[in-house]
């Protein structure tokens, strides 16, 4: 029976593709946008097409679903990346059996894609009775002994009970209330049943700052969604895949059961090619349509060309990014076969923990501090801007905290004392929030493998000698490049059918093509060399690779939870000499006790002479009852008085 293309696509289950359709009333629009965009512009009555794929083209929202009857009907077309969030309004129309739910409702692997229903009667399954109105989660559909069943779950008293529900189970199944929040695109993909509409609620439309082009302010918070799909189809006796929207004014009839599907060409997607390439047997395909990045390198990958696909495999790459101040950064995948030479560039390290990670066995790491840090532990060193350090190896240091011994990670290094250029061994706490710039004395040029073997990534470099084996080295013009990490990327080995000796690694992520399978390719290719290139990837591809990369590094240690009390700068400026230092220390102590701390620790920092050398003394007061303020005064005074040569004091009170 004939129906409109729009209604047919709305009721079509994508899992049933491909489907053969016959055009009952044709469409022709000379010079239309379809023709300008390379889409099919003529569907004549009697034509037979094979629908191979559906893709969401646009979403229409109508405010007829609002309860306000006085509101004027408005239909808008929000973008697929609509910035607002939505909730699904429960569909009150019941489903008569489980099979109707399976055929019309999307059931996916994630929690958001798993619908929930309740039945108007009790259901007996195995040793479990599902009570009337009890919430049933539809998890997945599986074929059990050639019978479709649904894996379901119910939750009782905090325990999850799993069971199988046959598709033949009858009863009025009502959709349960869904309290989850979705994007508009997620609702279009998962939450619109076949042959039904979906009412949604837009959340916070008045405060989200949407422009009138996205959602008018008088639209209301409720709307009914309609999805328009782009139909991908194959015309009989043609190789090209045609595209047209599902709202095209065409009458169609499904003739799949009465037509030989093999009379059509069978286009293969990249996903299909990857599945076939897993067998490891070469085969020949023709490129029907599509595009690819790095066109200057893969010029044989264009529509109409016949290529040989040998196999799929994983290859190592260095993920790199351009170092720039603005947002227009470039990202690259560099193969191990890259023949250019790199020169090292200075790196920046935000913490001492990053210094520990970056140290290597080839040389000491030379850095300059760009941020001051005052360390509360007397066994460790404070840092001033301009201090220089040499980083050798890592060890653990023991410090005393509140009268208890605890093990704290520390970074041993050598501080360079200028102008005599002498060094002394110090400890930097791993948790210090500092800043360091690397000083690079190395002027050598390294190939990629030498950098990966002798230094710890990430590493800042620039190309000192471009790759002479290629016509254009896209890395050569970049002032500073960060080699971030080694990753594994999926590749296909591909060659031109007319030139099988040149076999290229083509990354899967940059293929956006459809193919036609021609035949097997029996020739032996073991002795042919494999070529690879530097690939420039998009920002989205870069973050997707970083997302799936397994990060096994240990996080940096957290700093101790302490309260720091300091006095205003005007008071600090008057603390010259030991007597003023004593008054300042006691003043800080009164401040801390007034804040409710139980006799906290006092740190005194004395600045000696013009050289600015800093020394620190830490006092620990165990309890309020055992020590009086007079003993506090005597203790602090006995420490400060011998320091007559000090020019000023800085006092910090710390407590839990």
What is the per-residue pLDDT for 292?
64
What is the per-residue pLDDT for 29?
53
- Residue percentage of the chain with pLDDT more than 90: 15
Q: Which helix (H) or strand (E) holds 244?
A: strand 241-245
Give the angle subtended at the CA of 486 by the CAs of 484 and 488, to the nearest 5°. Answer: 135
pLDDT band at 125 (very low <50, low <70, confident <90, very high): confident
d(Cα 330, Cα 170) in Å, to the nearest integer?
A: 57
What is the per-residue pLDDT for 590?
53
Predicted confidence (pLDDT) at residue 171 exceeds the cutoff of 80? yes
In this prediction, residues 109-124 reach a mean pLDDT of 91
Predicted confidence (pLDDT) at residue 481 exceeds the cutoff of 70? yes
Q: Name which of 50-54, 141-145, 234-238 the model is least confident about.
A: 234-238
DSSP 594: H
Q: Name which of 188-202, 203-217, 337-351, 409-423 the model is least confident about.
A: 203-217
What is the per-residue pLDDT for 571?
30
In this prediction, residues 501-516 reach a mean pLDDT of 83
pLDDT band at 358 (very low <50, low <70, confident <90, very high): confident
What residues contact residue 644 under an 8 Å CB cut-off, 6+ apart? Answer: 578
**Cis omega before residue 310 (within 30°)?**
no
Q: Name which of 290-299, 436-445, 632-641 the model is least confident about.
A: 632-641
Closest CA relative to residue 431, chosen from 397, 470, 388: 397
In this prediction, residues 553-570 reach a mean pLDDT of 45
What is the per-residue pLDDT for 635?
55
What residues contact residue 8 under an 8 Å CB cut-off, 6+ apart? Answer: 21, 252, 254
pLDDT band at 574 (very low <50, low <70, confident <90, very high): very low
Answer with the residue of higher pLDDT: 39 or 224.
224
- Residue percentage of the chain with pLDDT more than 70: 72
Closest CA relative to residue 175, chosen from 116, 100, 111: 116
Closest CA relative to residue 326, chosen from 548, 535, 83, 539: 539
Structure tokens at 476: 């050569």
pTM: 0.52
pLDDT band at 204 (very low <50, low <70, confident <90, very high): low
In this prediction, residues 246-254 reach a mean pLDDT of 88
Predicted confidence (pLDDT) at residue 628 exceeds the cutoff of 80? no
pLDDT band at 506 (very low <50, low <70, confident <90, very high): confident
Give whole-number Cα distances, 341 to 46, 80, 438, 448, in Å. Answer: 63, 45, 21, 7
- Give 589: exposed, middle or buried? Use CB within 10 Å, 0-12, 13-18, 19+: buried
In this prediction, residues 224-253 reach a mean pLDDT of 83
- Give 638: exposed, middle or buried? Use CB within 10 Å, 0-12, 13-18, 19+: exposed
Pairing between strand 395-401 and 388-391?
Answer: unpaired
Q: Name which of 345-354, 463-472, 607-616 the model is least confident about.
A: 607-616
In this prediction, residues 70-80 reach a mean pLDDT of 80
pLDDT band at 299 (very low <50, low <70, confident <90, very high): confident
In this prediction, residues 231-248 reach a mean pLDDT of 79
Q: Are 482 and 320 in contact (CB under 8 A)?
A: yes
pLDDT band at 71 (very low <50, low <70, confident <90, very high): low
Place of tokens 């349960």: 176
What is the per-residue pLDDT for 637?
55
Predicted confidence (pLDDT) at residue 415 exceeds the cutoff of 70? yes
- Ordered domains of the chain (ranges, CATH): 1-81+219-264 (no CATH), 82-218 (no CATH), 267-315+488-535 (no CATH), 346-394+409-439 (2.30.30)
Pairing between strand 499-507 and 530-531?
Answer: parallel
**DSSP state letters, 133-198:** T--EEEEEEEEETTEEEEEEEEEETTEEEEEEEETT-EEEEEEPP----EEHHHHHHHS--TT--E
Structure tokens at 219: 């639209």
Closest CA relative to residue 509, chosen from 482, 544, 484: 544
Range from 56-70, 315-329, 574-588 that averages highest in pLDDT: 315-329
Q: What is the mean pLDDT of the chain?
A: 76
Interhelix angle for 578-594 vs 629-640, to 10°? 150
Place of tokens 């800080």: 588
In this prediction, residues 586-605 reach a mean pLDDT of 48
In this prediction, residues 448-463 reach a mean pLDDT of 88
């Amino acid at each position: 029976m004939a129906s409109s293309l729009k209604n047919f696509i709305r009721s079509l289950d994508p899992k049933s593709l491909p489907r053969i359709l016959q055009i009952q009333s044709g469409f022709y629009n000379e010079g239309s946008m379809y023709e300008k965009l390379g889409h099919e512009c003529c569907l004549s009555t009697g034509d037979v097409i094979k629908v191979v794929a559906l893709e969401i083209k646009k979403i229409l929202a109508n405010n007829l679903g609002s309860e306000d009857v006085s509101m004027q009907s408005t239909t808008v077309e929000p973008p697929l990346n609509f910035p607002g969030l939505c909730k699904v309004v429960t569909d009150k129309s019941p489903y008569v059996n489980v099979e109707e739910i399976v055929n019309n409702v999307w059931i996916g692997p994630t929690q958001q894609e798993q619908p929930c229903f309740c039945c108007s009667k009790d259901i007996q399954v195995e040793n479990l009775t599902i009570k009337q109105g009890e919430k049933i989660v539809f998890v997945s559909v599986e074929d059990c002994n050639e019978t479709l069943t649904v894996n379901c779950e119910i939750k009782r008293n905090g325990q999850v009970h799993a069971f199988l529900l046959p598709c033949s189970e009858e009863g009025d199944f009502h959709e349960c209330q869904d309290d989850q929040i979705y994007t508009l695109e997620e609702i279009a993909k998962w939450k619109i049943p076949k042959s039904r509409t979906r009412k949604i609620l837009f959340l916070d439309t008045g405060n989200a700052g949407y422009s009138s082009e996205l959602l008018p302010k008088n639209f209301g918070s409720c709307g009914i969604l309609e999805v328009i799909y782009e139909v991908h189809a194959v015309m009989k006796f043609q190789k090209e895949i045609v595209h047209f929207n599902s709202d095209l004014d065409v009458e169609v009839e499904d003739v799949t059961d009465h037509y030989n599907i093999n009379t059509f060409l069978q286009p293969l997607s990249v996903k299909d090619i990857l599945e076939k390439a897993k067998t490891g047997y070469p085969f020949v395909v023709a490129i029907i349509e599509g595009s690819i990045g790095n066109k200057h390198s893969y010029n044989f990958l264009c529509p109409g060309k016949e290529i040989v696909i040998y196999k799929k495999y994983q290859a190592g790459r260095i993920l790199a990014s351009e170092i720039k101040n603005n947002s227009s950064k470039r990202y690259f995948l560099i193969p191990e076969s890259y023949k250019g030479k790199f020169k090292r560039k200075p790196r920046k390290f935000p913490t001492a923990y990053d210094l520990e990670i970056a140290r290597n066995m080839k040389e000491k790491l030379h850095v300059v501090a760009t941020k001051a840090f005052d360390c509360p532990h007397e066994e460790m060193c404070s840092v001033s801007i301009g201090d220089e350090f040499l980083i050798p190896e890592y060890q653990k240091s023991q410090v005393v905290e509140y009268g208890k011994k605890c093990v704290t990670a520390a970074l041993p290094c050598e501080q360079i004392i200028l102008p005599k250029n002498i060094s002394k061994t110090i400890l930097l706490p791993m948790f210090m929030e500092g800043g360091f710039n690397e000083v690079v004395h190395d002027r050598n040029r390294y190939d990629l493998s030498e950098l990966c073997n002798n230094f710890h990534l990430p590493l800042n470099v620039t190309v000192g000698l471009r790759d002479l084996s290629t016509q254009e080295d896209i890395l050569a013009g970049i002032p500073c490049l960060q080699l971030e990490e080694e990753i594994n990327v999926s590749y296909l080995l591909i060659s031109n059918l007319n030139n099988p000796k040149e076999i290229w690694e083509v990354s899967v992520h940059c293929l956006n093509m459809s193919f036609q399978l021609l035949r097997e390719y029996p020739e032996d290719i073991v002795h042919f060399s494999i070529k690879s290139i530097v690939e420039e990837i998009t920002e989205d591809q870069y973050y997707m690779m970083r997302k799936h990369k397994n990060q096994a590094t240990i996080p940096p240690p957290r700093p101790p939870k302490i309260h720091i009390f300091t006095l205003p700068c005007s008071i600090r400026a008057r603390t010259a000499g030991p007597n003023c230092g004593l008054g300042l220390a006691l003043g800080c102590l009164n401040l801390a006790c007034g804040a409710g701390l139980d006799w906290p620790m006092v740190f005194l920092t004395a600045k000696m002479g013009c050289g600015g050398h800093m020394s620190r003394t830490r006092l620990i007061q165990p309890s309020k009852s055992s020590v009086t303020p007079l003993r506090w005064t005597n203790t602090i005074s006995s420490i400060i008085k011998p320091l007559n040569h000090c020019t000023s004091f800085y006092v910090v009170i710390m407590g839990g």
